[in-house]
Amino acid sequence: MSHLTVSPAYGRDYKGKVAAVADWTNGKDFSIGGGGGPYVGISQAEALKADGYTMVRIRYKKLRSFVDVAL
């Protein structure tokens, strides 16, 4: 099970996992890694699967917490 860690892009942050997952599902941009990396979103899910990823790990609460979302 391989995961890709992403953080909210453009200075966004979330107080809870429900909001983070909702924005992922609704196609918002996220940054790969701890921030500053390339942008990715659910629209790239098929390409991520092709690269061997099975889930994304979304960081929230100022990057202190995370939620895993299956691709």
Please state the domain extents for the chain.
Answer: 3-70
Residue 35 has pLDDT above 90, yes or no: no
Give the pLDDT of residue 36.
77
CA dist., res. 37 & res. 30, Å (int): 9
- What is the rounded average pLDDT for all residues in the chain? 94
CA dist., res. 9 & res. 60, Å (int): 11
CB 48 within 8 Å of CB 56: yes
Extract the tokens encoding 53: 């990823």
Extract the tokens encoding 34: 């701890």
Burial grade of 60 (CB within 10 A; 0-12, 13-18, 19 or more): buried
